[in-house]
Amino acid sequence: MTKRLHIPVLLEEILDRLDPKPGETYADCTAGLGGHAVAVGARLAPGGRIVLNDADAGNLEQAADRVATEAPGVEIQPIHGNFASLPRRLVAKGQQADMVLADLGFASNQMDDPERGFAFSRDGPLDMRLDPAGLTTAADLVATLPEDELVRILREYGEEKAARPIARKIIAARQEGPIATTAQLAAMVRRVVRTGGGIDPATRTFQALRIAVNDELGSLEGLLAAVQRGARMHGEGWLAAGARVAIVSFHSLEDRMVKRAFGALVRDGLAEPIGRQPTTAGEDEVSVNPRSRSAKLRAIRLIETGKAQPPGL
């Protein structure tokens, strides 16, 4: 199979929202393969800085190499870890971000590598960790979670109508032996949910487990709380005065969280929306990058005036 390049979603729209200027600091919460970072970096020289963050150390390294080559003249600071702790790590360095981007979920190279266990199209270990050093794999979850918790995950994160029968099938199968591979789990789901001519019946189960394995909603909650705290500090915390924050989500639960958090800041007079809320990909983009079909971009700019509150972050 040929290697797909990860195509950065909504690139022009994100550049428009972030509006990078020479000398500014850009915090990329989800460096991936550096597609957005390279494009922002090209506008930051001379004197700009890119803080690259990713839970996947391999992707982080690739992104850093790519930015160094394709956006020379910009300082690069790689930070490995969950983006929920990025704000604290910036504060610890005494740095502020003028722009923040979180492009949620997984990159194409992670999905395409059967050894990472994200895909049901080719067999591999049932892993799904974005950070390969993370403690819990999808195999651990299907081996240990009680039926009701499996049902909750499948329903909430996968919007799977057949959550209960799938969970029962998993519980019955694991009495016989470990569910260790993606092909095993996918076959099990396909025996419960029939193909309706649309997406593979295993799609929703795999999505739900990936979200659970990586605590994707908890991480987003942590980042949004930090954005709210940063906005209330009026340029004294990790977000510079007038900072632009953009988040691309691919799941309705994530988009709802971003909508609420940004909406609260706008209502409190601490931020203003930038662009259409949400912005989605046009047909041209979807035709070359099908993954962009479910992307939703929301962006805000922090209001520059106001009284600083005591530092809390």
Ligand X SMILES: C[S@@+](CC[C@H](N)C(=O)[O-])C[C@H]1O[C@@H](n2cnc3c(N)ncnc32)[C@H](O)[C@@H]1O
In the bound state with ligand X, the residue whose beta carbon lies nearer, of 30 and 182, is 30
**Burial class of residue 174 in the structure, from the number of CB atoms within 10 Å of its CB (0-12 exposed, 13-18 middle, 19+ buried):** middle
3-state secondary structure 31-94: CCCCHHHHHHHCCCCCCCEEEEEECCHHHHHHHHHHHHHHCCCCEEEEEECCHHHHHHHHHHCC
Asked if residue 137 binds ligand X (CB under 6 A), the reply is no
Helices 252-267, 216-232: crossing angle, 10 deg rounding? 10
Give 107 or 126: the residue with its C-beta nearer to ligand X.
Answer: 107
Choices 52-60, 139-147, 230-238, 253-261 (CB under 6 A): range interacting with ligand X: 52-60
The values of phi and psi at residue 33, to 5°, are -105, 20
Q: How far is the CB of 86 from ligand X (least distance, A)?
A: 8
- 34 lies in the site for ligand X, by CB under 6 A: yes
Q: Is the peptide bond before 278 cis (omega within 30 degrees of 0)?
A: yes
Applying CB under 6 A, among 55, 145, 151, 239 the residue interacting with ligand X is 55
Q: How wide is the angle at C-alpha 57 spanned by C-alphas 88 and 213, nearest 5°?
A: 80
| 175 phi and psi angles, rounded to 5 deg | -70, -25
Q: How many residues bind ligand X (CB under 6 A)?
A: 21
Written as one letter, the residue type at 100 is: V
Q: Which of 161, 149, 211, 156 is nearest to 189 (CA)?
A: 161
Task: Out of 33, 52, 170, 300, point to the residue binding ligand X (CB under 6 A).
Answer: 33
The only residue of 20, 26, 30, 202 in contact with ligand X, by rule CB under 6 A: 30
Q: Are 187 and 209 in contact (CB under 8 A)?
A: no
* 87 touches ligand X by CB under 6 A: no
Q: Shortest Cβ distance from residue 61 to ligand X (Å)?
A: 11
Residue in 137, 205, 219, 279 binding ligand X, rule: CB under 6 A: 219
By the rule CB under 6 A, 59 interacts with ligand X: yes
105 binds ligand X (CB under 6 A): yes
Measured from the CB atom, is 106 or 238 closer to ligand X?
A: 106
Task: Establish if 117 lies at the interface with ligand X (CB under 6 A).
Answer: no
By the criterion CB under 6 A, which residues form the site for ligand X?
6, 8, 30, 32-36, 53-56, 59, 82-83, 103, 105-107, 130, 219
